[in-house]
Amino acid sequence: MTIPIASVPNGTVTSAKGFSAGGIFAGIKTPGVDKKDIGLLYSERACAVAGTFSQNSVISPTVTLDKERVGVDKKVHAVVVNSGCANTAVGEQGMIDAKEMTDITAAHLGVTSAHTLVSSTGVIGVEIPMALMREYIPQIKVSEDGGGEFAKAILTTDKRTKEIAVSFDVDGVTHTVGGVSKGSGMIHPNMATMLAYVATDADVEPGYLQKVLSESVKLSFNQIDVDGDQSTNDTVLLLANGAAGGSTISGGDEASAAFEAAVLQVCQYLAIEIARDGEGGTKLIEVTVNSAHTEEDALKASRSCAASMLVKTAVYGRDPNWGRIFMAVGKSEIPLDESKIDCYINDIQIVAEGKAISYNVQSVVSALAGDEVRLRVDLNVGSASGVAWGCDLTEEYVVFNSAYTT
């Protein structure tokens, strides 16, 4: 029997038991209404932790430090995150500052630095203003309803926070998985991606926890694109503190299946919200590739399409230009038989067996005018599917990124 997954109203990263969080404005970013630029996430109970990180050859020392600490010791208590400055490409000072940020945080929360993780996001090539860190981190108050503050503190060019929580019951014990993410530019598939923090009160075996996170990231954060560019600071952390009081989850049973489904649901929601909030974007584009030879093919082809500038501009212009969809699927170089491809826009078929069919153009143009556009390509050569998400490409993206130092 499948255990149902329920949505948690106003869910956020602190919806899981035993997690508290908070945020503060220290002046790293320019001031604004309700702006924050340092956030803390804390669990009194030690957490098993899994992480996936940027594959960029240039990475922030915060990523290097987190990778070490996630690898060595899976009993983490805290994560400190600042926005406005990426602490990347600043020489040796970067690692010194990243470590000091965890020292300050650990002292403030009464834990050890080795059990504290750190992320930074913002402008590359500028040193972290440590004087602000020393002054403001100790002032951050964490609380069980502080998830929203934390969600605000990690934003950069995002227009809104990205928060969710879901829950499932095992033997009368409610387990919750909550998460937050940020990201709007430098977003591209095939990475280990932007900033996202997922927290659960489930008691999870550490090796299995990493497996669940990696699989979920593959089907969520690694399938979104805003602009083809990959950040130097991408980080997804999954913390499990066991505060729900349930049995250990380690794979292979119904509770594990529910846990996997819950983590995937949280990751996909947070990933889709990043695509929807893409810089300059006016609509979410969901690309589904069905009946491919392998899941890898379907995932690759769908993200190639979601990442195509010509598909993005066609959707923006409400142009049912399926030639561009074919081009974008084909450039992924997956095996296919062109004469078998069917293509749909918001469930309206426009291509059958590789050729244009008669359809009501106005209805497709109307579909393309909505807030969400669903492109579907049925390859009809196998049985595997994949989905990817992106946003349209608009003049605003160009104006924003040619006028702004990020």
Active site residues: 193
Residues in the chain, total: 406
Q: Is 399 in the site for a second copy (CB under 8 A)?
A: yes
Site mask for a second copy (CB under 8 A), range 355-384, x = bound: xx----------------------------
Q: Is 210 in the site for a second copy (CB under 8 A)?
A: no
| Member of 53, 150, 208, 326 binding a second copy (CB under 8 A) | 326
Stretch that binds a second copy, among 35-43, 50-58, 66-74, 210-218 (CB under 8 A): 50-58
Pick 254 or 338: Cβ nearer a second copy: 338
Residue owning tokens 């899976």: 74
Q: Check: CB of residue 190 under 8 Å from CB of residue 303.
A: yes
Pick 238 or 314: Cβ nearer a second copy: 314
Sign of CA pseudo-dihedral 83, 84, 90, 94: negative
Pick 86 or 170: Cβ nearer a second copy: 86
Q: Check: CB of residue 29 under 8 Å from CB of residue 84.
A: yes
Q: Is 185 in the site for a second copy (CB under 8 A)?
A: yes
Pick 114 or 123: Cβ nearer a second copy: 123
d(CA 53, CA 66): 9
The backbone region for 9, taken as left when phi is positive above 0, alpha when psi lies in -120 to 50, beta otherwise, is beta
Helices (H), 307-345: 309-316, 322-330
Helical pair 322-330 and 309-316, crossing angle rounded to 10 deg: 160
Please report how close the Cβ of residue 163 comes to a second copy at its closest, in angstroms: 27
Site mask for a second copy (CB under 8 A), range 88-107, x = bound: xxxxx---------------
Q: 300-323 as b/e, with b when 16 or more CB fall inside 10 Å?
A: bbbbbbbbbeebbebbbebebbbe
Please report how close the Cβ of residue 186 comes to a second copy at its closest, in angstroms: 6
Q: Check: CB of residue 132 under 8 Å from CB of residue 27.
A: yes
| Member of 65, 101, 124, 209 binding a second copy (CB under 8 A) | 124
Site mask for a second copy (CB under 8 A), range 218-247, x = bound: ---------xxxxxx---------------
Nearest to 334 by CA among 312, 302, 364: 302
Please report how close the Cβ of residue 242 comes to a second copy at its closest, in angstroms: 36
**Which residues make up the interface to a second copy (CB under 8 A)?**
55-59, 86, 88-92, 123-126, 185-186, 188, 191, 227-232, 307-310, 313-314, 316-317, 319, 321-324, 326-336, 338-339, 351, 353-356, 393-395, 397-399, 401-406
